Structure formats: C-alpha cells, structure tokens
Amino acid sequence: MTTPKHKVLFILTNTQTIGPNNRPSGYEFSEVARPYLSFIANEIDVDFATIQGGQPPEDGFNPDDAASVVFRGSVGFEQLNNSIPLHAINPDDYDAVFFPGGLGPMVDLLDDPTVNQTIAHFADTNRIIGAVCHGPAALLNVTLADGSPLLHNKRVAAFTTAEEIGHSEHDVPFMLDQKLESQGALHSAAPPFAPHVVVDGQLVTGQNPASAAGVAHAMIARLYHTQT
C-alpha cells in the first residue's frame, strides 16, 4: 500500500491596496514561491485558497530571484491565479495550512470568520499551521474550541516594528509584533531582515521574506515526523 501524499493549503490575501495612501498590496511573491517549491520538491501537494477565490493580487516579484522566476512559470502559479474560495474548502483534506505575507493579510485575513474557523480547526485537530512575515496577522483573535486564545503563551515570529519603520509604518493599521504580544504571544526577533523561524509545537512562524523557506522546511520536517 502506498502512503498517501501530504497536502498543504496556502491561504492568500485578496487585498489590493492598504492604508490611507492606498498603497498597492497583495501576497509577497517570494513568500509563496520559495515555500511552494520546497513543498513540491518533497512530494507535498499544494492548493491555493483566498476568501473570494479567483486571481489574488501579487506584490514584490523580483525577476532576479530564481525561485520566483521558476514559480511564475509553474503549474502552481496557474493554480494560484484560479484560487479556491475558502468557503468551498474542506480543511480535513489538508495536513497543514500556510499563510504567506505581504501587507494584505493585515486587512482581509484578520478577523475573517472563515479564516478564523479554519485556523481554529487546524489547531484543535493538532495539525500544522505555518505563517511568515505579515502572515501571522491571520492568527490574531483566533479562539480554540475550549475557549482559549490560540496565541496565549505561544512562541512566534513575525515582521517587526524595526522592519516596519521606513518600509510601511504609514500603511499598516498596527505593528504586528506588538499586536501579537498584546494577545499573549511570546514574540522573538532576529536583526531586521535576517532569517528567523520559531517552532512551538505544530505552530511554525517566520519573521520576514528571508524566513519563508525556513518556515516551509520546518513544516516539512513535522509532516514527515523528522523534527528534533
């Protein structure tokens, strides 16, 4: 009997602009490209969902980034641009869920009931939840089946105030690291834009774009039960 393949659900933002100056937004391209390629290389299937479905807006494509170029030419990119509406997803079909960043998650993935319910279901069933950069905004205000907050006493990483300054402090509605801490999370950080991944049980979070591949690798280790 063959072993069933693992499957990861990427949940991306539909947000096209953010902040008082309508800054263009969307998912951060490399934070999708690098994890996707890592999962596929490890024989892990990927589906893409957004709240609305369809083609989500992209941000930050770099033609000098080899992984991004490969991903843009892949079947996965075609699938991403025909993303599944989240309400049509059965979370029990997936072993893990992953939230890439970009500024958009701070708008539409925050407090969306279907997003919250999906995350709570993964946590309550002890499955893997990954998020990187601004993606951990989706974890805010999530309540588990026993009534406890998802983030209470959880060790996490996310885009920091130090990284936000000079980048997008006038566009985002709050400083993500501070908001996570206000909900009981134990946030830690590396120097700005250095890779930093934090694992707490089945929760895997990363600080910034440089951490995206590391988040995927830690999720893969848990999917294959090779974590130390």
**pTM of the model as a whole:** 0.96
Residue 228 scores a pLDDT above 80:
no
Give per-residue pLDDT as tens, 43-60. Answer: 999 999 999 999 999 999
121, 123, 126, 127 alpha-carbon torsion, rounded to 10°: 80
Q: How far apart are the first and last CA of the chain?
A: 28
| CA–CA separation, 222 and 220 (whole Å) | 5
Domain boundaries, the chain: 7-223
Give per-residue pLDDT as tens, 111-158. Answer: 999 999 999 999 999 999 999 999 999 999 999 999 999 999 999 999
| CA–CA separation, 111 and 124 (whole Å) | 18
The verdict on domain 7-223 having CATH code 3.40.50.880 is: yes
